[in-house]
Amino acid sequence: MKTILCILMWLLLAPFDLLVNLLAFPLAPVIVLLTTQAGVSPLWCWPWLTDDNPIDGDAGHLERWPDNGTRWRVYSRRVAWLWRNRGYGFSTRITGVQLSGATRFWGDRKVSDNPMHAGWCIAINGRAWELYAFYPWLSILRRGLRIRIGWAIPLTIDQPAETAMLKTHVNPFKGYTL
């Protein structure tokens, strides 16, 4: 019964989360235009910002989008960061779930697109659940089907104590590394 309620909760929240995620595409360019050079965005932008990194992105994103001194490069890097982390603030603060206690796993906990490890895993922690699956299908271009629905429960931690963001991602062309 508890599992059914968890699935129903996700079904109720997922449409709102997906809407905020999709709004990131038209709003990110506007948010970046309204953000100061120092990286301060208007208060209403919080649903599309990341709590754990500035609008310029994390170290990996900065490496992929190095600053060449032009405003266009900074603008592009910031838009790319918001598109990559669509609705991060909303998915964590509003539709996210606090994890606690032991997580139960079924399937392969090593499933991943980076590095690629094909398979699936279902995880349940309290009120949160996740289905994570990855299957490569276009190896010449390193593309595969990635499904991540439910809440982002770490597959490598037995007893996480963090907020898991809601996930509504199905990508048939997700890139992967070996």
* pLDDT values of the chain reduced to their tens digit, one per residue, 178 residues: 677 888 899 999 999 999 999 999 999 999 999 999 999 999 999 999 999 999 999 999 999 999 887 899 999 999 999 999 999 999 999 999 999 999 999 999 999 999 999 999 999 999 899 999 999 999 999 999 999 999 999 999 999 999 999 999 999 999 999 9
- Name the domain count of the chain: 2
Phi, psi (degrees; rounded to nearest 5) at 38: -75, -5
Question: Using alpha carbons only, what angle is made at residue 57 by residues 162 and 29, rounded to the nearest 5 degrees?
Answer: 115
Q: Which residue has the tokens 């996480």?
A: 160
Domain limits at 107? 98-175
Say whether both 114 and 71 belong to one domain: no
Residues 135, 169: one domain? yes
User: Which one of 93, 119, 147 terminates a domain?
Assistant: 93
Do residues 125 and 101 touch, judged by C-beta distance below 8 A?
Answer: yes
How many C-beta atoms lie closer than 10 Å to residue 44's C-beta?
A: 9
Give the domain-ending residue among 42, 69, 93. Answer: 93
Cis omega (within 30 of 0) on the bond before 115? yes
pTM of the predicted model, to two decimals? Answer: 0.89
Quote the DSSP letter at residue 161. -
3-state secondary structure of 50: coil
